[in-house]
Amino acid sequence: MLDPTPKARVLIGKPGLDGHDRGAKYVAQVLRDAGFEVIYTGIRRSPEQIVEAAIQEDVAGIGLSLLSGAHNVLFKRVIDLLKERGASDIVVFGGGTIPPKDIPTLTAMGVKAVFTPGTPAKRIVETLDTLLAQPA
């Protein structure tokens, strides 16, 4: 048995109204296997619910999965709410069917990484390892 020392805590949530959670669950599983503690909050959550959960759970990162096309609005709302709550240190990343032309907009509002369909699992883990590296 390996030494079960977890990496960072990460919240995976689906804001908005689409119910396609296969991607979110898959990423949750990938991150679990990579040693992260994943708090999975399920489908159709409001940005308020996601931010409140992230603060109570004291996570290092929030992963938003979205296939409805409302990413520009909902990602921004999450980032604004985090700012309001004094929790801007929580890293926000996202994934789903997000058109490449929107990625610069998301990056500009503070989304640290966007994983579109086809991203290798290994790259997601490596990116998060870097983004969520905890000071010892």
Give contact residues for another protein (rule: CB under 8 A). 1-7, 28-29, 31-42, 45-46, 48-49, 52-53, 55-58, 85-87
Q: What share of the chain is helix, strand, coil (3-state, %, to 5)?
A: 45, 20, 40
Whole-number Å distance between alpha carbons of 73 and 54 = 19
- Min CB(102)–another protein separation in Å: 27
- Min CB(45)–another protein separation in Å: 6
**Complex with another protein: residue 58 or 130, whichever CB lies closer:** 58
**Complex with another protein: residue 15 or 106, whichever CB lies closer:** 15
**Complex with another protein: residue 31 or 106, whichever CB lies closer:** 31
The number of residues in the chain equals 136
Taking each helix axis from N to C end, the angle separating 22-33 and 121-131, rounded to the nearest 10 degrees, works out to 60
